[in-house]
Amino acid sequence: MGKYIEMIRIRFLMMLAYRTNYYSGILIYSINIGAYYFLWNAIYGEKSSIEGMSALQMTSYVAIAWMARAFYFNNIDREIAQEIKEGKVAVELIRPYNYLLMKTMQGLGEGIFRLSFFSVPGMVIVALIFPIAFSAHPATWLMFAVSLVFSFLINMQINLLTGILTFFFYNNTGLIRAKRVVIDLFSGLLLPISFFPGWAQQIMNYLPFQGISYVPSMIFTEGFTKPEIVHAVLLQVVWVLILLLPIQIIWLIARKQLVVQGG
């Protein structure tokens, strides 16, 4: 266990060394939040609420969704793809640790870094510019924190899956890019899942994506009732467990037919 925690620490320190890159990141996210802020206000216009959400709730939703993304988002899928392409994965496989778990830990180190140097200060800055409603209930914050952990895990697992698929596709930069765009929409980052038409929501209920952004953001903006929160977080847990299965299976198959391209 010690080596995995060490990995979190090393990645955190590595990110810390390049922290200036992240100040511009905050600005970029704020620019995006700004675009959606004006857009949503124009969409609301005279209406006081759409799908049970007020304009203020929607602004808060957009802000927290982006700042939470700063936490769970990482490029581990690209890193895995790179290591597979360069043949480094062969060396990784003989090292005395579980490769996928190690990657998860690196992602976590990165996530903790981004949470403390990107999400939190970013949220403060955004709250100074735009009107954002912060909940006064500690329980909301607690459930938000819990669901954020699971949103990190689900996103991580999907990253691992797309990363390992490089074993079969050799060059899957396109797949990784497409995955990112699809997740932005289906996870509820761009707009809440409740804004989708009924049939689409039905389909989305059978997909893991809304556990990434929709669930924590709805909890944060208090758009969910108590039973809804419990249900949503339980669903996140179930997805984390379900996703373990395809990862393990594909990983086993991949290791068997590993082709190292050069190296």
Using the rule CB under 8 A, is 42 a contact of other proteins? Answer: yes
**Contact call for residues 91 and 261 (beta carbons, < 8 A):** no
Using the rule CB under 8 A, is 204 a contact of other proteins? Answer: no
Nearer to other proteins, 17 or 136 (CB): 17
Q: What is the DSSP string of 87-119?
A: THHHHHHHSSS-HHHHHHHHHHHHHHHHIIIII
Among 3, 16, 142, 171, binds other proteins (CB under 8 A): 171
Using the rule CB under 8 A, is 207 a contact of other proteins? Answer: no
Task: Give the interface segment with other proteins, choosing from 10-18, 45-53, 212-220, 227-235 (CB under 8 A).
Answer: 45-53
Q: What is the DSSP string of 183-212?
A: HHHHTTSSS-GGGS-HHHHHHHTTSSGGGT
Positions 11 through 40 that interact with other proteins (CB under 8 A)? 21, 24, 27-28, 31-32, 34-35, 38-39
Nearer to other proteins, 103 or 188 (CB): 188
Nearer to other proteins, 18 or 206 (CB): 18
Q: Is 171 strand, coil or helix?
A: coil
Task: Give the interface segment with other proteins, choosing from 117-125, 134-142, 174-182, 252-260 (CB under 8 A).
Answer: 174-182
Nearer to other proteins, 134 or 169 (CB): 169
- CA nearest 25: which of 130, 117, 138, 94? 117
Using the rule CB under 8 A, is 175 a contact of other proteins? Answer: yes
Spatial distance between the Cα atoms of 230 and 235, rounded to a whole number of angstroms: 9
**Chain center to CA of 69:** 5
For the four alpha carbons of 98, 164, 76 and 220, in that order, the dihedral sign comes to: negative
Using the rule CB under 8 A, is 54 a contact of other proteins? Answer: no
Spatial distance between the Cα atoms of 25 and 30, rounded to a whole number of angstroms: 8
Among 108, 132, 191, 215, binds other proteins (CB under 8 A): 191
**Contact call for residues 176 and 81 (beta carbons, < 8 A):** yes
- As to burial, measured by CB atoms within 10 angstroms (0-12 exposed, 13-18 middle, 19+ buried), residue 194 is middle
Using the rule CB under 8 A, is 190 a contact of other proteins? Answer: yes
Among 10, 124, 129, 178, binds other proteins (CB under 8 A): 178
Where does this chain bind other proteins (CB under 8 A)? 21, 24, 27-28, 31-32, 34-35, 38-39, 41-45, 47, 50-51, 171, 173-175, 177-178, 181-182, 184-185, 190-191, 195-197
